[in-house]
């Protein structure tokens, strides 16, 4: 399902890719926050990935805002509700932040659901194999 040509996918892959040095840098950055501002290669990659995500999310929001009909996806519904609420209309950056939240939430949901599904599937296959063995031994 990974599409290396998709800008969102490659940007999130960059953000989530881990090496020992990046882990150490993140840990040190928690104790020495000024380290985050030194242009280490990893920091440059993260900044570029975040810029890509913001740029693509902005395009997505603009595309959905330009549509005259409200779609059934979550972003279209959010834009429609924002249009209705004139006094509490979402700012552009708030909408873009929401898109990034949706993408991350979808990624995390999928990344935890698939291993769980595979585990249950494995258990079912083991149970099936055990039942077959038992029926052969008794029959």
Structure confidence by residue, pLDDT tens digits, 78-126: 888 888 877 777 777 888 888 888 877 776 666 666 676 666 777 667 6
Q: Sorting pLDDT into bands at 50, 70 and 90, what band is 48?
A: very high
- Distance between CA atoms of 55 and 52, rounded to whole angstroms? 5
Q: In the chain, what are the domain boundaries?
A: 7-138
Average pLDDT rounded to a whole number, residues 17-21: 80
End-to-end CA distance of the chain: 44
- Is this structure's pTM higher than 0.75? no
User: Of the candidates 73, 133, 123, which has an alpha carbon nearest to the alpha carbon of residue 103?
Assistant: 73
- Token pair of 94, please? 């708030």
- The CA–CA distances, whole Å, from 18 to 24, 30, 42 equal 10, 16, 10
């Amino acid at each position: 399902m990974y599409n290396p040509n998709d800008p969102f996918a490659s940007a999130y892959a960059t953000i989530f890719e881990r090496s020992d040095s990046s882990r150490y840098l993140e840990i040190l950055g928690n104790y020495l926050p000024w380290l985050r501002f030194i242009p280490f290669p990893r920091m440059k990659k993260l900044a570029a990935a975040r810029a890509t995500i913001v740029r693509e999310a902005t395009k997505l929001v603009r595309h959905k805002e330009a549509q005259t009909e409200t779609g059934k996806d979550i972003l279209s519904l959010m834009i429609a509700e924002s249009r209705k609420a004139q006094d509490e209309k979402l700012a552009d950056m708030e909408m873009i932040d929401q898109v990034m939240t949706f993408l991350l939430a979808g990624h995390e949901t999928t990344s935890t659901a698939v291993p769980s599904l595979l585990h249950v599937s494995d258990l079912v296959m083991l149970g099936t194999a055990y039942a077959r063995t038992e029926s052969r031994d008794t029959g």
